[in-house]
Amino acid sequence: MTNPAQSPTAVQRLLSLDVLRGVTIAFMIMVNNNGGSGSWGFMNHAQWNGLTPTDLVFPTFLFVAGVSVVFAFEARLARGATRAQLTRHTVQRAAILFLLGLVTNGFPFFVLTHLRIYGVLQRIAICYLVVGLFYLWDRSAASKIAVLAGTLIGYWLLVRWVPVPGAGLPGRDIPFLDPDLNLVAWLDRHLFPFHLYEDWTTHNLRDPEGLLSDIPAVGTVLLGVLTALWLRGRRTATAKALGLAAGCVACLAAGYLWSIWFPLNKKMWTSSYVLVAAGWSLAVLTLVYWAVELRGWRKGWTWPWLVFGSNAIVIYMFSELLPGVLGNIRFTADGRKTDVLMYTFNHVFAHIPDPGWAAFAFSITFTAFCFVPAWILYRQRIFIKV
């Protein structure tokens, strides 16, 4: 059975999108709290070039944000909101997200001399601001395709053909995508010395959410916008699902082909990585859309993901701040100093013989603990909008 065709201006909330958002937040919490050094390889980011399932979580959240921009803005416009009101709200929301990112980075001690400026929420804020204002200015698909191509090709030109000051031209004087000698890292070291993610005592190296790599990250969000425009078109649900699948294949094929010359790299957010990550995001969305919108499987299995996704930013903040609290509740046990997290792992999960399963059990338990406040808010019908 298929749903009736929708008009291009119809505003319809997609349950499948809410489910995907919840799945993404849950796995983001898991991989950010993966149980430490014993965790399986796929529960960790690739060291440099390459790709693991963990590397797909953050871009999927950005992709979902792009889809949400279209549906949320169109819903508000249909209710009578003006573009000026939406512009003001977009700027305000981006500013709040950026400030929340700084709070997350600094918690609990807020050492300002080494406070990391970049971060996950900061990247979301910047990309949301740019794409949100762009969509309000021009809601056509053609402009989004043009800018998407510009971001991906332009970023490749920057990191491939612009010499790194003091080092030379990538691919000739220095290795292409050298971890330390690349334009992205060079700029970040000069903008925010000793305020980066990989901030060592002797020298700064790089930040995985650096300034220049926001350019292709905007491309990730634009792919979400294009997906939303497709889903809002006048076509049957079956045709929409087939279009999602075709987009998945196209992005994966283009991304993996480009990776021969421009390797997949999450920390650099390479253009090939943008396409491959979007391809996998589309693959999951296609499956969820087929199950929820086409097959009508809406009850039971969707509930935990709807709970997680209903207050996504709040629960992400909770999951990021909680380790800072538990890790600083320190005491002496078994003759040595420890904290709540370390004690819990050593006295509960470390008894599991296999280190990978021990780490995975910790990750699942931590995520389940984060589910509790999400469930309380959901049950009380409290939805905190940033």
Beta bridge partners of 168: 164
3 state SS of 380? coil
CA-closest candidate to residue 65, choices 7, 130, 8: 130
Give CA 123 to chain center in angstroms. 9
Instruction: Please say whether the dihedral angle defined by the alpha carbons of residues 128, 134, 138 and 140, taken in this order, is positive or negative.
Output: negative
Q: Is the pLDDT of residue 177 over 70?
A: yes
Q: What is the pLDDT of residues 294-331, one digit of tens each?
A: 999 888 999 999 999 999 999 999 999 999 999 999 99
User: Which pTM does this prediction carry?
Assistant: 0.92
In order, the DSSP letters of 168-229 are: B-BTTTB-TT-SSSSHHHHHHHHHSTT-STTB-SS-B---TT-STTHHHHHHHHHHHHHHHH
Neighbouring residues of 348: CB distance < 8 A, sequence distance ≥ 6? none
Query: How would residue 199 be classed by pLDDT, with cut points 50, 70 and 90?
Result: low
Q: What is the pLDDT of residues 55-67, one digit of tens each?
A: 999 999 999 999 9
Percentage of residues in the chain having pLDDT higher than 90: 83
Helix (H) or strand (E) holding 240: helix 237-258
**Amino acid (one-letter) located at 285:** L
CA-closest candidate to residue 377, choices 305, 310, 277, 290: 310
What average pLDDT does this structure show over 333-355? 91
Q: Name the range with the highest mean pLDDT among 104-113, 294-303, 369-378.
A: 369-378
Q: Is the pLDDT of residue 355 over 50?
A: yes
8 A C-beta contact, residue 130 and residue 151 = no
Q: What is the pLDDT of residues 251-295, one digit of tens each?
A: 999 999 999 999 999 999 999 999 999 999 999 999 999 999 999
